[in-house]
Amino acid sequence: MSIIESFKKTIIFFDEIKSEGVIEDYALIGGLALSAWIRPRTTQDIDLAVTVSERIKWADLISIVETRLHKRVAIHKGTQRTNIKENFSFVSGQIEVDVISTRGFRLADAAIKDAVIADVFGINVKVVTPEYLILLKLLPLSNQDILDITALLKKADKNKLKTLAQKYYLLSKLESVW
């Protein structure tokens, strides 16, 4: 299965569980989200931020992925540094899918709420805006993240970005790469 087929299959699955009320919403973040805003670059995974319905436990979502997609899920410990408390991954075809919960992660929750529909590989999917993508990339801030941020700054609303960075206590980190 190609990366594009894996991507489409993943998005269809998350659309289905959204329509069933298992998740409230989700949005594409990370390397693939970049392709909606700037020239695409290669990436090793599909990154999704997910708002799980209040009535669903994170373990239930993991079970649904394992059962319906017949995938083995790797559960990852959250990190204080990135505010991620719940996340897991699974392999779909040739690509890894990383799923990050918005529970306790206000920045990711707001990013989903402000996300827009974009065409990625010929499929409409909710993608976080350049401003939120920059802020999310500030958390790990790898060398690749710095390159991505530099490219995204050309598409970002600078006033909105600065306001959001201040709100999420990331202004000094943003200024260090701006």
pLDDT tens by residue, 67-78: 999 999 999 877
Intra-chain end-to-end CA distance of the chain, in Å: 39
Token pair for 123: 């499929």
Nearest 5°: CA angle at 64, between 104 and 87? 30
93: pLDDT confidence band, cut at 50, 70 and 90? confident
Taking only the tens place, the pLDDT of each residue in 41-70 is 777 789 999 999 989 999 999 999 999 999
pLDDT at 80: 64
Cα(14)–Cα(129) distance, rounded to whole angstroms?
A: 19
**Domain chopping of the chain, boundaries:** 3-129
CA 82 to chain centre: 13
The whole-model pTM stands at 0.92
Buried b (16+ CB within 10 A) or exposed e, 82-97: bbbbbbbbbebeebbb
| Residue at 3: amino acid letter | I
Nearest alpha-carbon partner for 3 in 99, 94, 121: 94
Asked if 19 and 48 count as a contact pair (C-beta separation under 8 A), the reply is: no
**CATH class of this structure's domain 3-129:** alpha beta
| Residue listed under structure tokens 């319905």 | 53
pLDDT at position 169 over 90: yes
Mean pLDDT, to the nearest integer, of 16-20?
97
pLDDT at res. 82: 66
Beta-bridge partners for 48:
28, 99
The helix/strand/coil state of 38 is coil
Distant-in-sequence, close-in-space partners of 154: CB < 8 Å, separation ≥ 6: 38
The pLDDT of residue 128: 98
Check pLDDT > 80 for residue 81: no
Question: Looking at residue 107, what is its pLDDT?
Answer: 96
> What pLDDT is recorded for position 20?
96
Interval 105-161: pLDDT, tens: 999 999 999 999 998 888 999 999 999 999 999 998 999 999 999 999 999 999 999
